[in-house]
Amino acid sequence: MGRVLGVLRSFLSFVISSFFTNECLVCHIPFYEPDGVLPVSIREGWPEWTVIFFQNRFSFNMPGGLSLPGKVLCNDCWLKLQPVSDYTFLDDIPVIAPFRTNETLLKVIRYLKFSGGISVAKPLSWWMAKTLKDYVSPCDSALLVQKLIVPVPLHNSRRRERGYNQASLLASCVSAELGCRFSADLLVRVRNTKSQSSLDADGRRENVLKAFNVLEINEFYTKDIVLVDDLVTTGETVRECIRILKKKGFSNIIVLSAGKSLSAAD
Protein backbone atom coordinates (compact mmCIF):
# COMPACT_ATOMS: atom_id res chain seq x y z
CA MET A 1 0.00 0.00 0.00
CA GLY A 2 2.82 2.42 0.88
CA ARG A 3 4.45 1.82 -2.48
CA VAL A 4 1.15 2.42 -4.31
CA LEU A 5 0.57 5.68 -2.44
CA GLY A 6 4.14 6.80 -3.17
CA VAL A 7 3.70 6.13 -6.89
CA LEU A 8 0.33 7.92 -6.86
CA ARG A 9 1.77 10.97 -5.09
CA SER A 10 4.67 11.01 -7.51
CA PHE A 11 2.36 10.76 -10.53
CA LEU A 12 0.13 13.55 -9.26
CA SER A 13 3.12 15.80 -8.66
CA PHE A 14 4.30 15.08 -12.20
CA VAL A 15 0.92 16.05 -13.61
CA ILE A 16 0.77 19.21 -11.51
CA SER A 17 4.31 20.19 -12.44
CA SER A 18 3.48 19.74 -16.12
CA PHE A 19 0.90 22.50 -15.83
CA PHE A 20 3.20 24.90 -13.98
CA THR A 21 6.44 24.74 -15.91
CA ASN A 22 5.64 27.66 -18.19
CA GLU A 23 8.06 29.91 -16.33
CA CYS A 24 11.72 29.71 -15.48
CA LEU A 25 12.47 27.86 -12.25
CA VAL A 26 15.04 30.47 -11.22
CA CYS A 27 13.97 33.91 -12.47
CA HIS A 28 10.23 33.05 -12.77
CA ILE A 29 9.96 34.89 -16.07
CA PRO A 30 7.50 33.16 -18.43
CA PHE A 31 9.16 31.32 -21.27
CA TYR A 32 9.03 33.49 -24.31
CA GLU A 33 11.78 32.21 -26.59
CA PRO A 34 10.69 29.40 -28.95
CA ASP A 35 12.51 26.07 -28.73
CA GLY A 36 15.72 26.13 -30.70
CA VAL A 37 16.36 29.86 -30.31
CA LEU A 38 19.93 30.55 -29.25
CA PRO A 39 20.90 32.96 -26.46
CA VAL A 40 22.13 36.36 -27.55
CA SER A 41 25.62 35.41 -26.39
CA ILE A 42 27.31 32.35 -24.89
CA ARG A 43 30.07 33.23 -22.47
CA GLU A 44 33.61 31.91 -22.75
CA GLY A 45 34.20 28.61 -20.99
CA TRP A 46 31.13 26.81 -22.32
CA PRO A 47 31.92 23.72 -24.44
CA GLU A 48 31.41 23.61 -28.18
CA TRP A 49 28.23 21.54 -27.93
CA THR A 50 26.40 24.30 -26.01
CA VAL A 51 24.83 25.52 -29.25
CA ILE A 52 23.46 22.02 -29.90
CA PHE A 53 21.92 21.99 -26.41
CA PHE A 54 19.93 25.16 -27.03
CA GLN A 55 18.73 23.80 -30.37
CA ASN A 56 17.28 20.70 -28.72
CA ARG A 57 13.69 20.31 -27.61
CA PHE A 58 13.72 18.14 -24.50
CA SER A 59 10.78 16.17 -23.17
CA PHE A 60 10.38 13.42 -20.59
CA ASN A 61 8.26 10.47 -21.74
CA MET A 62 6.10 8.87 -19.06
CA PRO A 63 4.09 5.63 -19.02
CA GLY A 64 0.77 5.90 -20.79
CA GLY A 65 2.08 8.12 -23.54
CA LEU A 66 2.32 11.27 -21.41
CA SER A 67 5.19 13.63 -22.16
CA LEU A 68 6.48 16.42 -19.93
CA PRO A 69 8.37 19.37 -21.41
CA GLY A 70 11.98 19.54 -20.26
CA LYS A 71 12.19 23.32 -20.44
CA VAL A 72 12.67 24.37 -16.82
CA LEU A 73 15.17 27.23 -17.20
CA CYS A 74 15.22 30.12 -19.62
CA ASN A 75 18.30 30.49 -21.80
CA ASP A 76 19.78 33.20 -19.58
CA CYS A 77 19.43 31.08 -16.45
CA TRP A 78 20.95 28.01 -18.09
CA LEU A 79 23.96 30.20 -18.67
CA LYS A 80 24.10 30.99 -14.95
CA LEU A 81 25.40 27.46 -14.45
CA GLN A 82 29.15 27.10 -14.19
CA PRO A 83 30.64 24.59 -16.66
CA VAL A 84 33.51 22.41 -15.48
CA SER A 85 36.52 21.91 -17.70
CA ASP A 86 38.74 19.89 -15.33
CA TYR A 87 38.63 16.28 -14.16
CA THR A 88 39.10 15.58 -10.47
CA PHE A 89 39.82 12.43 -8.52
CA LEU A 90 38.37 10.89 -5.39
CA ASP A 91 41.24 8.73 -4.16
CA ASP A 92 42.09 7.09 -7.51
CA ILE A 93 38.61 7.36 -9.06
CA PRO A 94 37.83 10.08 -11.64
CA VAL A 95 34.87 12.32 -10.82
CA ILE A 96 33.38 14.08 -13.83
CA ALA A 97 30.46 16.49 -14.11
CA PRO A 98 29.27 19.08 -16.62
CA PHE A 99 28.78 21.74 -13.94
CA ARG A 100 30.22 22.98 -10.71
CA THR A 101 27.59 23.19 -7.98
CA ASN A 102 26.18 26.68 -7.53
CA GLU A 103 22.86 28.12 -6.37
CA THR A 104 21.23 27.79 -9.80
CA LEU A 105 22.12 24.12 -10.08
CA LEU A 106 20.96 23.51 -6.50
CA LYS A 107 17.53 24.92 -7.38
CA VAL A 108 17.32 22.59 -10.35
CA ILE A 109 18.35 19.55 -8.29
CA ARG A 110 15.91 20.41 -5.48
CA TYR A 111 13.16 20.67 -8.08
CA LEU A 112 14.11 17.22 -9.36
CA LYS A 113 14.35 15.63 -5.92
CA PHE A 114 11.57 17.24 -3.92
CA SER A 115 9.00 18.74 -6.32
CA GLY A 116 8.35 15.92 -8.76
CA GLY A 117 10.38 17.74 -11.39
CA ILE A 118 11.40 14.66 -13.38
CA SER A 119 11.26 16.65 -16.61
CA VAL A 120 14.62 18.24 -15.74
CA ALA A 121 16.30 14.82 -15.89
CA LYS A 122 16.42 14.99 -19.70
CA PRO A 123 18.40 18.21 -20.17
CA LEU A 124 20.67 17.48 -17.18
CA SER A 125 21.40 13.95 -18.40
CA TRP A 126 22.13 15.30 -21.89
CA TRP A 127 24.96 17.38 -20.40
CA MET A 128 26.13 14.43 -18.31
CA ALA A 129 26.19 12.13 -21.35
CA LYS A 130 28.22 14.64 -23.38
CA THR A 131 30.68 15.01 -20.50
CA LEU A 132 31.08 11.23 -20.15
CA LYS A 133 31.61 10.77 -23.88
CA ASP A 134 34.17 13.56 -23.96
CA TYR A 135 36.06 11.95 -21.06
CA VAL A 136 35.95 8.32 -22.24
CA SER A 137 36.38 8.68 -25.97
CA PRO A 138 35.20 11.64 -28.04
CA CYS A 139 35.70 9.75 -31.31
CA ASP A 140 34.96 6.09 -30.47
CA SER A 141 31.48 5.21 -29.23
CA ALA A 142 32.46 1.54 -28.96
CA LEU A 143 34.32 2.28 -25.73
CA LEU A 144 31.21 3.86 -24.26
CA VAL A 145 28.83 0.96 -24.87
CA GLN A 146 31.10 -1.24 -22.74
CA LYS A 147 30.17 0.83 -19.69
CA LEU A 148 27.52 -0.20 -17.19
CA ILE A 149 25.60 2.79 -15.83
CA VAL A 150 24.73 2.35 -12.13
CA PRO A 151 22.92 4.92 -9.95
CA VAL A 152 23.63 5.60 -6.29
CA PRO A 153 20.59 3.91 -4.70
CA LEU A 154 17.96 5.27 -2.33
CA HIS A 155 16.69 3.20 0.57
CA ASN A 156 13.36 1.54 -0.26
CA SER A 157 11.48 3.64 2.29
CA ARG A 158 12.87 6.89 0.86
CA ARG A 159 12.12 5.80 -2.70
CA ARG A 160 8.53 4.90 -1.80
CA GLU A 161 8.08 8.28 -0.15
CA ARG A 162 9.52 10.20 -3.10
CA GLY A 163 8.15 7.91 -5.79
CA TYR A 164 11.48 7.60 -7.62
CA ASN A 165 15.24 7.81 -7.26
CA GLN A 166 16.56 10.95 -8.95
CA ALA A 167 20.00 9.37 -9.52
CA SER A 168 18.32 6.44 -11.26
CA LEU A 169 16.35 8.80 -13.51
CA LEU A 170 19.55 10.58 -14.53
CA ALA A 171 21.43 7.31 -15.00
CA SER A 172 18.74 5.75 -17.19
CA CYS A 173 18.60 8.88 -19.36
CA VAL A 174 22.40 8.88 -19.74
CA SER A 175 22.25 5.20 -20.68
CA ALA A 176 19.60 5.86 -23.32
CA GLU A 177 21.52 8.83 -24.73
CA LEU A 178 24.75 6.87 -25.14
CA GLY A 179 23.49 3.33 -25.75
CA CYS A 180 25.16 1.96 -22.61
CA ARG A 181 23.77 -0.77 -20.41
CA PHE A 182 21.93 0.30 -17.26
CA SER A 183 21.35 -1.48 -13.96
CA ALA A 184 19.14 0.01 -11.27
CA ASP A 185 19.57 -3.08 -9.06
CA LEU A 186 23.30 -3.76 -8.89
CA LEU A 187 23.79 -1.46 -5.89
CA VAL A 188 21.29 -1.36 -3.03
CA ARG A 189 21.08 0.81 0.07
CA VAL A 190 20.70 -1.60 2.97
CA ARG A 191 20.51 1.03 5.69
CA ASN A 192 18.32 4.14 5.73
CA THR A 193 20.58 7.13 6.38
CA LYS A 194 20.14 10.76 7.32
CA SER A 195 20.30 13.48 4.70
CA GLN A 196 23.97 14.21 3.98
CA SER A 197 23.33 17.93 3.50
CA SER A 198 22.84 18.46 7.24
CA LEU A 199 26.14 16.84 8.26
CA ASP A 200 29.80 17.85 8.30
CA ALA A 201 32.48 15.80 6.55
CA ASP A 202 33.05 13.39 9.45
CA GLY A 203 29.31 13.00 9.95
CA ARG A 204 28.78 12.27 6.27
CA ARG A 205 31.44 9.57 6.34
CA GLU A 206 29.92 7.89 9.39
CA ASN A 207 26.39 8.26 8.04
CA VAL A 208 26.98 6.18 4.90
CA LEU A 209 29.40 3.63 6.38
CA LYS A 210 28.19 0.13 5.39
CA ALA A 211 25.00 1.63 3.96
CA PHE A 212 25.37 -0.08 0.55
CA ASN A 213 25.78 -3.55 -0.84
CA VAL A 214 25.96 -5.27 -4.22
CA LEU A 215 22.73 -7.22 -4.54
CA GLU A 216 23.45 -9.53 -7.44
CA ILE A 217 26.33 -9.82 -9.87
CA ASN A 218 25.24 -10.88 -13.34
CA GLU A 219 27.91 -12.91 -15.09
CA PHE A 220 27.47 -10.72 -18.16
CA TYR A 221 28.13 -7.48 -16.28
CA THR A 222 31.16 -5.57 -17.42
CA LYS A 223 33.69 -4.45 -14.85
CA ASP A 224 33.52 -0.94 -16.32
CA ILE A 225 31.14 0.98 -14.05
CA VAL A 226 29.87 4.53 -14.33
CA LEU A 227 28.46 5.42 -10.91
CA VAL A 228 25.86 8.18 -11.21
CA ASP A 229 24.62 10.63 -8.57
CA ASP A 230 22.93 14.01 -8.79
CA LEU A 231 25.65 15.94 -6.90
CA VAL A 232 29.06 15.12 -5.47
CA THR A 233 29.93 17.40 -2.56
CA THR A 234 32.42 15.89 -0.12
CA GLY A 235 32.33 12.60 -2.00
CA GLU A 236 31.60 10.39 1.01
CA THR A 237 28.48 8.77 -0.48
CA VAL A 238 30.14 7.76 -3.74
CA ARG A 239 33.33 6.78 -1.88
CA GLU A 240 31.36 4.23 0.14
CA CYS A 241 29.66 2.94 -3.02
CA ILE A 242 33.07 2.61 -4.67
CA ARG A 243 34.42 0.69 -1.66
CA ILE A 244 31.75 -2.00 -1.91
CA LEU A 245 31.97 -2.16 -5.72
CA LYS A 246 35.72 -2.72 -5.53
CA LYS A 247 35.21 -5.34 -2.82
CA LYS A 248 32.92 -7.21 -5.19
CA GLY A 249 35.43 -7.12 -8.02
CA PHE A 250 34.45 -4.03 -10.03
CA SER A 251 37.79 -2.39 -10.73
CA ASN A 252 37.27 0.23 -13.45
CA ILE A 253 34.96 2.92 -12.04
CA ILE A 254 34.07 6.47 -13.07
CA VAL A 255 31.83 8.77 -11.02
CA LEU A 256 29.45 10.93 -13.06
CA SER A 257 27.21 13.61 -11.57
CA ALA A 258 25.29 16.66 -12.74
CA GLY A 259 27.34 18.88 -10.45
CA LYS A 260 30.33 18.64 -8.17
CA SER A 261 31.93 20.71 -5.46
CA LEU A 262 35.23 18.85 -5.48
CA SER A 263 38.12 20.93 -6.79
CA ALA A 264 41.15 19.85 -8.77
CA ALA A 265 43.14 19.80 -5.53
CA ASP A 266 40.82 17.23 -3.89
The pLDDT tens digits of the residues spanning 53-62 come to 998 888 777 7
The 10 Å Cβ neighbour count of residue 236 is 21
Q: Rounded mean pLDDT of the chain?
A: 83
More confident residue, 232 or 119: 232
pLDDT confidence of residue 183: 92
Give the CA distances from residue 110 to residues 67, 117, 170, in Å, rounded to whole numbers and listed in that order. 21, 9, 14
Q: What pTM did the predictor assign?
A: 0.86
pLDDT bucket at 149, cuts 50 / 70 / 90:
very high
pLDDT at residue 194 is higher than 70 = no
What percent of the chain is predicted at pLDDT more than 70? Answer: 80
For residues 147 and 143, what is the distance between their CA atoms, to the nearest angstrom?
Answer: 7
> Could you state, in order of their start, the residue ranges of all structural domains in the chain?
2-260
Q: Which residue type, as a one-letter code, is found at position 250?
A: F
Residues near 36 by Cβ (< 8 Å), separated by ≥ 6? 54, 55, 56, 57
pLDDT confidence of residue 83: 96
Residues near 55 by Cβ (< 8 Å), separated by ≥ 6? 36, 38
Show the DSSP H helices in 150-190 as ranges.
156-162, 166-178
